[in-house]
Chains A and B, each alone.
Chain A
Amino acid sequence: MNPSSPQPDLATILASSVHDMKNSLGLMGRLLAKHEAVWTGISAEAQSEYSHLLYEVNRMNANLISLLTLYKFGKGLYPFDPQPCQPAEICEEVAMQHRVLLSASKVVLHIDVPDDLVWHFDADLIAGVLGQALTNAINYTTDTVRIAAGVEHDELWLAVEDNGRGYPPQMLVDSRKAVSGVDFSSGSTGLGLYFAEHVAQLHRNRERIGSLRLENGGPLGGGRFVITLP
């Protein structure tokens, strides 16, 4: 490189590489989903590996999208403009994106969201957060997951619940009481949670602010991921 040329910005290089990786993962995911039928006649072990493969691809894809979005937040380039949205529509679309993963993992999804509910939020960000939570729930549940929503105390809540063993105690979070203090060194869950918390807090209505909770229990008795939006 010519020594006088300007130093490339590492963040920009990373962002454009992430973009490239995302595209290739997207293609992989599409190919995997396309050959869904091939995998139905195989051994239980291979089936479970197939669903695990789908899960990892889904997770990575979501992580890369989070990274790109966080990059845009950081640079002040994200076009944040909440619009009136129907949570029922968003949840339905998130479910469609997870159709193959759900069936490969033999997990049943219930959606329990009132059709006429309308709330102001950024649909793409919330769909991203719910998608990640759903991918996660499908991996940790026993056989059922549920997406639910409602309005309480003049706030919209959206929850992704499962009937697995629940979150380990050190992961339980309530962003209203304390910041989650996501520790990136500890492993896999950091980015998704960090992203979700960031998205929650981006949503404001005057002095009120969105929140994130990870708890156990709820109707299905397993883990419960809740985002609230004022």
Chain B
Amino acid sequence: MKIAIASGKGGTGKTTIATNLTATLASMGKTVQLLDCDVEEPNCHIFLNPHIESSTAVTTPLPDVDEEKCTGCGICAEVCEYGAIAVVKEKVLIFPELCHGCGACEMFCPEDAITEIGREVGIVEEGRADGFRFIHGRLKIGELMSPSVIHAVKIAGRESEVVIIDSPPGTSCPVIEAVKDTDFVVLVTEPTPFGLNDLQLAVGMVRALGMPFAVAINRSDVGDNDVKEYCQREKIDVILEIPDDRKIAEAYSRGEMIISAMPAYQKLLETCWGRIIDIHRNWGELTS
């Protein structure tokens, strides 16, 4: 079972829940993997100190022009929908950051003058944390295409009983890449106007994808009651509430796991896991 931990708003506690839930499941005896798919700003490793065993470059296809074969006809620039190719005075100019690697230029070049080479956009690192496999990715500084790195992290994951995916914030392409093909999404929010607004956007996203999901509320006593009322109105399950606690904030600031600093939270996460299983099992009936 693959579970994505996502949120519209950043800084609501995705990484806290992903790392602590994974460690809880491992201590329950499950084979579990954690994939940190927030490749722009990966943070799980700060809490887990994993032992990294291998590191692989992530590449995306980029056209390479054989100048001897090229006649400067300009078809490659014409078929590129991303403006990544320009032909000036019969010379082909390529803007690598704009390339989506769709293959159109290579496919439609009448002279067979284009081949595809790999361009490095980030890395994937794999290793072990305490009791489970850990994989994360890092987008190279200055690169735009984080979905390619996220995709690489996901395919590096192997079969296991449970896979937990820590997703980036937001509701656009990187998040979709992280949550697609998972079985369940946990949307983490906080009870504030910003938290509610971004939760509504995230709910719109998972509903557009047709995925089973539930909500976790972090710092559940800091703001107002609007998030809970919204969830009630929309018949969305709230599977976890973590109260605001200076001890949690301080442990977090030092890169410590909550379940190490405050073991009582392990019970809460075990219950949360049970809720995920139940909601997932009954999802078809719930929605029909």
Do A and B share a complex? Answer: no
Q: Which residues of A come within 8 Å of B, CB atoms?
A: none
